Amino acid sequence: MAGRVASKIALITGAARGQGRADAVRLAQEGADVIVVDTAATLPSVTYASPTLADLDETVSLVEKTGRRAVRVQADVRDLAALRAGVDAGVAELGGLDIVVANAGICVPAPWDDVTEEIFDDTIGVNVRGVWNTVMAGAPHLVERGGGSIILISSAAGMKVQPFLVPYTTSKWAVRGMAKAFATELARHNIRVNSVHPTGVNTGMTGEGLQAAFAKGFERDPKLAGMLTNLLPVVITEPEDVADTVLFLASDESKYVTAHELAPDAGVTEF
C-alpha cells in the first residue's frame, strides 16, 4: 500500500531531535525521502541542552530504518547562504523537493523586564529570520517542481497571548503572518502555505528550565497561570501528535488547504 506522501521529498529544519525528528520519521514512514537540517551546535541564549551532530545522525538512522533516504545538512537557519547551499545539495542528491517544514526554533521564557537584547535578537533571528530563510531556500525548488506544500511551525503562542514569552510570542505571531503572506504569492505556482500551532510539546525545549521560568513568573502574577491550561484533559502533547498534523498538510489530503492555521493545541487557544 502506497504511503500518504509516497515518492515525495521533504525538507525539515530543526530535525536533530524532538518535533523535527518526529516530522522526519513520520513523513518517511509514509513514503517520503527527507533532507534533515539542524545547526547541531550550541543554540543562542537557551538554557536547555543544544542539539548535537550525534542527534542529527540518529534522525538519519531512524529515517533510513523506514526504508527511505535521508540527507543530513548541518547548517544554522540564520545563515541563508549556508542553508541554501545545503538544501541545493540535498535536492540534487534526492532529485527534487515537494515539502518544506520550517520547524527550527528556540524558546527563552522570562518576565518582560528580564528579557535582554540578546534574548530578543536571538529569538527573532532563529524563529523569524530562520523561517524566512527556510522558505527562501526551499520554495524555488517547489516552483520548479510545479507545486508543493510549505508548513511553518508556529505555536499556540502565535494565536493566543501567552505570559512570560514576549520574544517567543512575537516571533510566532510573525510566523503566522508570514505563512499567509507567502501563501498569497506562491498560490499561482500551486504551492500551499500553512502554519501549525501546537500547545506544549514534550521536547527538550519544555523541560525543567521552562517550568522554572514559568514558576518564577506565576509567583509574581498568579492570575496568569490559567492562560496555559489546555481545554482537553492533557498537560502536554507528544512530538508525534504534531507530526500527524504536518503529515496531513504535506499530503494531497490537504490539496485545497492554504493560508490557514491548524492547531493541534488541545484547546489551549480557546480556554
- At 33-43, the pLDDT tens digits run 999 999 999 99
Just list the catalytic residues: 168
Q: Report the pLDDT value the prediction gives residue 120, as an integer from 0 to 100.
A: 98
With a cut of 50, list the residues of the chain below it in pLDDT.
1
Quote the pTM value: 0.97
- Name the grid cell of 248: 496531513
Residue 1, pLDDT score: 47
Q: What are the Cα distances from residue 87, in Å, to 34, 109, 170, 174?
A: 11, 31, 27, 24
Condensed to tens digits (0 to 9), the pLDDT of residues 129-146 reads 999 999 999 999 999 999
Output the pLDDT for position 207: 67
- C-alpha distances (whole Å) from 81 to each of 85, 87, 130, 178 are 6, 10, 12, 20
Give the pLDDT confidence score for residue 226 in this predicted structure.
Answer: 86
End-to-end CA distance of the chain: 40
Provide the pLDDT for residue 219: 87
In this predicted structure, what is the pLDDT of residue 73? 98
HSE-CB at 168 with a 13 A cutoff on CA atoms is 25
